[in-house]
Structure 1
């Protein structure tokens, strides 16, 4: 018997701003830059990568390249994406 599976796309499960914020909070706490890039990619795709890129002031292609496990987005891109997603960056003591 062959087990059939369905491809899971995290972006499809990110439906509310609260869920998105909680998801990113966990990834940021982990602190792995590769995971942060992938998480931001998931969130940007859930909201529409082209629209997020436009709001962040970068091309869709540049954003897609930056938000990979090997990408290293500029701080201005990171901040632009967070603002485009309606999120803010908060610093707190560890």
Structure 2
């Protein structure tokens, strides 16, 4: 029997570039669940440092934690400020599944 130690996966450990962050947030957006998006943004915020991100976004640290908690209903401008501070932005694209 091995004494290997299993560590909990933490996405924040892998979010080390704007490209990776953008891909992670895009994957969360595809899930069509606001809580998944908030968790993804919180993972990125953790990777960058919550205090630093709050300052860069012009928000209080506690406000940032509350805005990114599952079930929160943050305002668009809050999400926009946070994503801008992370170096990414949201973009619209045609949905291939919708036919008119």
TM-score of the two chains, using structure 2 as the length reference: 0.85
Return the offset for 1:3.
6.8
Q: Provide the aligned length of Structure 1 versus Structure 2.
A: 94
- What RMSD over aligned residues (CA atoms) do the two structures have, in Å? 1.5
Q: Which residue of 2 aligns with 1:72?
A: 73
4+ long deviations beyond 4 Å? none
Return the offset for 1:5.
1.8
Kept after mapping to 1: 8 A contact 2:21/2:88: no
Structure 2: which 5+ residue stretches go unaligned?
96-100
Q: Is the deviation greater in 54-63 or in 1-10?
A: 1-10
Secondary structure, counterpart of 2:55 in structure 1: helix
Q: Distance in 2 between matches of 1:60 and 1:68?
A: 13
TM-score of the two chains, using structure 1 as the length reference: 0.90
Q: Which residue of 2 aligns with 1:33?
A: 34
Larger radius of gyration: 2
Return the offset for 1:46.
0.7
Secondary structure, counterpart of 1:35 in structure 2: helix
5 Å-filtered alignment, 1:1-94, equals 4-94=5-95
